[in-house]
Amino acid sequence: MKSLAEQYGVCDLKYAIELKELGYKQTGFLRWAHICGSQRLYLRVNDNAYSDRSYIIAPLDIDSEIETFKVIAPTVAELGEALPIDVYCMRTRELGELFWKAQYISGYVRIDADTEANARAKMLIYLIKKGIVKL
């Protein structure tokens, strides 16, 4: 079964948090949210990205909707806009394993991940840390 991140084409929470800490803009279509009274994280449509309301994509099993944590969940497209033109992603198979790879041609860097969004997020993190991408 696909994870919530995989279903909606967003990067995993750990990469979203790291991108936020590195200064990635906190505007986008979707966000990760922790709802008060629950141990689960939810994927929500961002308030100011779509309308005045926030829609929960994952089902709620609690009454309270008070958020105690939120961070933008960058989509594949949003991450692609932040990456340099000479970064490409492709799905590949090596030694029987299927995975996504992001490759930065100018710097001869390759990063592998389980999803396209994670590959792009990991590459963006790498390029920001190396000073190649400025936010």
pLDDT at 66 over 90: no
Report how many domains make up the chain.
2
Residue 38 falls inside a structural domain: yes
CA distance 116 to 123: 11
pLDDT at 54 over 90: no
Pair (22, 68) in one structural domain: yes
Residue 77, phi then psi, degrees to nearest 5: -65, -45
**Which of helix, strand or coil describes residue 103?**
strand
Share of the chain above pLDDT 90, in %: 53
CA distance 76 to 81: 9
Check residues 65 and 126 and name the one with the higher pLDDT.
126
Pair (65, 112) in one structural domain: no
Residue 87 falls inside a structural domain: yes
Token pair for 60:
């709620």
Q: How many residues does the chain have?
A: 135
Pair (34, 68) in one structural domain: yes
CB-count burial class (<10 Å; 0-12, 13-18, 19+) for 134 = exposed
Pair (12, 70) in one structural domain: yes
Write down which residue in 57, 75, 93 finishes a domain: 75
Secondary element (H or E) of residue 88: strand 87-94
